[in-house]
């Protein structure tokens, strides 16, 4: 590849990407967003094998990329060590910084780690999201999924055909050691309007148990209450909620035939595990780009509502008070969709 023919001010200049130069990618949070960067990391490394790629993320998500072979160094962000972090990053004298977070924290970091030859930022399309949420003006209809948009930050660069990935060390084994037909349920979410009702998860778990499936409950420490309540109502289920041990959760997901999830980080974790996904989309919609990426999946959503989407993140309650976006997605319909995933 003759880099001399590429305009210096285009990103792929990346100053001799083929000559072991160094870049920094910033995506501080959250679980799903970080997993969605993994096709970019892999595809960059494939195209430029000698490129050194560093990554900056929040400490609590470090395990997501800890064992990723496409990375050179992994840096963790903690507000208490910001000055130490900036000093460490400055010493690397990056040819390029790719800011996929693009908020005030990431901007502060990029501003203070100079000299950096070039900084590029992810376009968040905030105006387009605002128009869709507030006025139902949809300018996102033809916008690609988030990993592709991440890649488009880099001129003349395309992703490979593979999906998300997470690397698990050999000492992390699934806790599911039998050969039963495991169906994983990941009922948690940070926001109420992104959660399929707990009662529906219980009903679905009972249907699954009655049809000789073994129900596995998955989540982190914030999901312990809902997983515990479901487990109590479905005694035959297995509660594998962890203290935010994403590597253990993904190892367990790999043993499941299907993962049933809300539009959440664990939906993307299931994709990285390579397990088919049934996902519920309530207050959010596919146009925001956070679909299961290159994974066998089915989406359950209520397309008949004029109030969707009511948010691009999630809400603590339904602004219309009826919550039809989730309430009209029945457990029997979900069970039927699971069977479709199992038989296609």
Q: Which residues contact 5 (CB under 8 A, 6 or more apart)?
A: none
Residue 223 lies in a domain: yes
Residue 165 lies in a domain: no
Q: In this structure, what CATH number is given to the domain that contains residue 252?
A: 3.40.50.2000
Domain that holds residue 111: 3-152
The pLDDT score that the predictor gives to residue 84 is 95
Q: What angle do CA 74, 79, 80 make, to 5 degrees?
A: 100
Q: How far apart are the first and last CA of the chain?
A: 42
Distance of CA 322 to the CA centre of its chain: 28
Residue 307 domain flag: yes
The answer to whether residues 106 and 209 belong to one domain is no
Closest CA to 231 of 190, 201, 272: 201
pLDDT at 156: 87
| Mean of pLDDT values over 228-241 | 97
pTM: predicted TM-score of the whole model, two decimal places:
0.93
- Kindly tell me if the per-residue pLDDT of 316 is higher than 70: yes
Same domain, 139 and 215: no
The answer as to whether 102 is a domain residue is yes
The neighbouring-strand residues paired with 23 are 53, 96
Q: Is 286 exposed, middle or buried (0-12, 13-18, 19+ CB in 10 A)?
A: middle
* pLDDT for res 18: 53
210: number of Cβ within 10 Å: 10
13 has pLDDT over 90? no
Is the domain of 333 the same as that of 194?
Answer: yes
Q: What is the DSSP letter of 145?
A: P
Q: What is the pLDDT of residues 84-132, one digit of tens each?
A: 999 999 999 999 999 999 999 999 999 999 888 899 999 999 999 999 9
Domain count, the chain: 2
Is there a contact between 313 and 290 (Cβ–Cβ < 8 Å)? Answer: no
């Amino acid at each position: 590849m003759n880099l001399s023919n590429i305009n210096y001010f285009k990103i792929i200049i990346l100053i001799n990407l083929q000559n072991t130069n160094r870049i920094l990618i910033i995506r501080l949070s959250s679980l799903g967003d970080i997993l969605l960067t993994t096709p970019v990391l892999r595809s960059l490394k494939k195209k430029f094998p000698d490129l050194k790629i560093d990554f900056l993320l929040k400490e609590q998500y470090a395990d997501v990329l800890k064992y990723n072979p496409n990375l050179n160094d992994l840096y963790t962000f903690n507000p208490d060590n910001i000055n130490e972090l900036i000093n460490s990053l400055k010493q690397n004298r990056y040819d390029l910084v790719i800011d996929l977070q693009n908020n005030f924290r990431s901007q502060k970091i990029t501003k203070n780690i100079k000299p950096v030859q070039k900084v590029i930022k992810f376009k968040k399309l905030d105006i387009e999201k605002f128009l869709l949420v507030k006025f139902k003006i949809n300018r996102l209809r033809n916008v690609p999924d988030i990993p592709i948009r991440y890649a488009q930050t880099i001129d003349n660069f395309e992703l490979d055909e593979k999906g998300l990935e997470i690397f698990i060390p050999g000492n992390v084994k699934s806790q599911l050691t039998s050969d039963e037909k495991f169906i994983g349920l990941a009922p948690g979410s940070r926001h109420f309007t992104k959660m399929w009702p707990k009662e529906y998860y219980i009903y679905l778990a009972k249907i699954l148990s009655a049809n000789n499936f073994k129900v596995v409950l998955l989540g982190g420490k914030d999901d312990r209450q809902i997983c515990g309540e479901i487990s109590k109502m479905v005694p035959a289920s297995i509660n594998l909620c962890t203290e935010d041990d994403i590597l253990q959760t993904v190892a367990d997901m790999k043993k499941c035939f299907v993962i049933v999830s809300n539009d959440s980080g664990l939906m993307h974790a299931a994709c990285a595990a390579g397990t088919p996904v049934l996902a519920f989309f309530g207050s959010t919609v596919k146009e925001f780009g956070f679909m299961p990426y290159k994974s066998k999946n089915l989406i359950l959503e209520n397309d008949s509502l004029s109030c969707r989407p009511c948010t691009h993140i999630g809400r603590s309650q339904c602004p219309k008070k009826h919550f039809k976006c989730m309430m009209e997605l029945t457990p029997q319909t979900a069970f039927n969709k699971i069977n479709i995933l199992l038989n296609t």
